[in-house]
Structure 1
């Protein structure tokens, strides 16, 4: 980065002064063109420039939160990617998932990871979950110009709040509005179907595996009605990704565990294609 050096070959003052605890503010001062929202507006049809990442679900259970996403990315009516990873660990106790313009969403998630790491190094402590939610809101607002061009990114933030001893879910709109969701939520093109499934399947006493199964069932329902959402592909061994965050931190469920749960869902659908039913009373 040539901006790091002055004419004498020494590091610029911004790199040696303590400065702000926000990496985004630092980058904006040193090289603002690297920020996602500072690019020149695109003229023309943007619909096929980047794949679209779709359906994400999250739900809380006693002691934590589960985040799950399908693997499909689409470009118009074309399947652009069958095994995309849309879930990003942002620090030990939080994760972000993306829906919308995939390229910008991935860049936003990785920049958010660096933002949290930078804060922790500068301040000597982790940002609170509320603080993380607010920082992400500011970052999304910075992408407004790109969103107006059609490159909309809508993330979902989940994390474990040690002050409340519970998992929490935060959703966002395209202009950076932040909203806390309770119990469960879904984003992406298949979200309306996934949320309908979760409404019937969710229980307050779900354990970790039960929450993971409910997430997989809801993604199956989304894939059943939304062509942009990918369901379990048992022949290619491509299954949804599932992250769990508890007071022990973030971890991704092993592929073999997700495969076992997903295959049980598929087997159940062979007997009951519309999935499990909720009791009427």
Structure 2
């Protein structure tokens, strides 16, 4: 017996369900005209923005990392924001752009994959997950014109291929796979320059982590929107390993040890 307050919906996509029955919670790209009718054109709004995140492949999978700073104009809005999220057992997502919508998209993506797996009895493929995220980015397009840009970086371990994969997106939801590494955000170019110089295929897990942290450190050195390690407050980038064994968080103790080694090496070169 169908309960009277539940709508008639047979699909396995939670995102499509919300978009159809509660469009105010998940804007769709074809609703752009409605959005502009309801929201006066006042130019981009100023909201806290997440800045630099990156991912790079190594022997066992992918390391994904992001700094902890959120900016609002020329002010630091938050020093401890989380930009890297576990999505399911074999995938993670990092965000750059308007912090609020970015975090909401990560939460919705988590729910989408859980909902699909419960209804279908099996998880989506790595490619399918990447496609789903592209649909969500596309649905956010109307808000881009208000300055609420959401730019995700998605990584997953493909169990069929036996390898880690990295996907980037444009603001229209276009999906592109990177073969080795990528970085996005205000310091993305600086981080990519460091990875381009030092990356090599077949890195060990420890070397991949060191390169990820070095890339974020160099980005923070040149980009005011990217936060470097804060040794006084004990704030370090968020880092996760994505492998066939699942998602592993890198502890602050390990991050601190890597940065201590990095600082010691730099001081020795300067003296």
Normalised-by-shorter TM-score class: over 0.9
Deviation string 1:56-100 (CA, Å, 9 cap, x unpaired) is 110001120000100011011111111110001110000110001
Q: Partner of 1:278 in structure 2?
A: none
CA shift in 2, pair 1:176/1:272, >3 Å: farther
Counterpart CA distance in 2 for 1:24 and 1:272 is 52
Q: Partner of 2:198 in structure 1?
A: 201
Q: Partner of 1:279 in structure 2?
A: none
Match of 2:5 among 12, 16, 37: 12
Q: Partner of 1:142 in structure 2?
A: 139
Match of 2:240 among 240, 243, 248: 243
Deviation string 1:128-153 (CA, Å, 9 cap, x unpaired) is 00000100001100001001221111
Counterpart CA distance in 1 for 2:152 and 2:67 is 14
Gaps of 5+ in 2: none
Q: Partner of 1:44 in structure 2?
A: 42
Q: Partner of 2:14 in structure 1?
A: 23
State whether structure 2 residue 76 is matched by structure 1 residue 79.
yes
Secondary structure class of the residue paired with 1:33: coil
Kept after mapping to 1: 8 A contact 2:157/2:242? yes
Counterpart CA distance in 2 for 1:44 and 1:146 is 13
Counterpart CA distance in 2 for 1:73 and 1:160 is 28
Kept after mapping to 1: 8 A contact 2:45/2:146? no
Q: Partner of 1:165 in structure 2?
A: 162
CA shift in 2, pair 1:125/1:143, >3 Å: same
Counterpart CA distance in 2 for 1:72 and 1:229 is 6
Counterpart CA distance in 1 for 2:226 and 2:202 is 28
Secondary structure class of the residue paired with 2:24: helix
More deviation, 200-209/164-173: 200-209
Match of 1:33 among 24, 32, 49: 24
TM-score, structure 2 normalization: 0.92
Kept after mapping to 1: 8 A contact 2:136/2:173? yes
Secondary structure class of the residue paired with 2:209: helix
Aligned residues: 262
1:251 positional shift: 1.5
Counterpart CA distance in 2 for 1:150 and 1:272 is 43
Counterpart CA distance in 2 for 1:36 and 1:109 is 15
Kept after mapping to 2: 8 A contact 1:63/1:165? no
1:36 positional shift: 4.8
1:42 positional shift: 5.4
Secondary structure class of the residue paired with 2:227: coil
Q: CA RMSD in A?
A: 1.7
CA shift in 2, pair 1:22/1:272, >3 Å: farther
Counterpart CA distance in 2 for 1:74 and 1:205 is 35
Q: Partner of 2:228 in structure 1?
A: 231
